[in-house]
Amino acid sequence: MKKLTLRPYPGEILLYDNFEAFQRRYKSMNGGHSHVHDKREIWGTTVPIMHEGCAPTFLVYARKNWPATLAHELSHVILHTFGIVGIDPRAAEGEPFCYMLSHLIEEARK
């Protein structure tokens, strides 16, 4: 598991490349319920965990941290985050979105 920050936006990402570890964390944060996907078929998934009055935690699973899967899943995180803070992802020709995606992928691949 790797923890990524969404700085300057609220929240954090818990990134997993192991589905069983992702599933354990999901259960611990979601009252013991399992994530619905069958691990044999899943390449990646993103689950926002929202708690009243707290910044969101995003549980992200990306098989083997493949760049294409990372880009896909982290895009879900950014779109959700931009929705929370009121940013149109198309604003400024998408530059805030693109810079955030580049930054998160760099951090995830370290």
Could you identify the residue written with the tokens 């149109």? 88
* H or E element, residue 93: none
Residue 39's pLDDT is 59
Torsion of CA 108, 13, 46, 36, to 10 degrees: 120
Q: With 0.85 as the threshold, say if the pTM is over it.
A: yes
Instruction: Grade residue 66 by pLDDT with cuts at 50, 70 and 90.
Output: confident
Answer whether residue 103 shows pLDDT above 90.
yes
Distance of alpha carbon 23 from alpha carbon 34, whole angstroms: 6
Residue 87's pLDDT is 94
- The proportion of the chain whose per-residue pLDDT surpasses 70, expressed as a percent, equals 91
19: number of Cβ within 10 Å: 19
Instruction: Go through the chain and tell me how many residues it has.
Output: 110
Over residues 31-62, the pLDDT tens digits come to 766 666 655 567 899 999 987 788 999 999 99
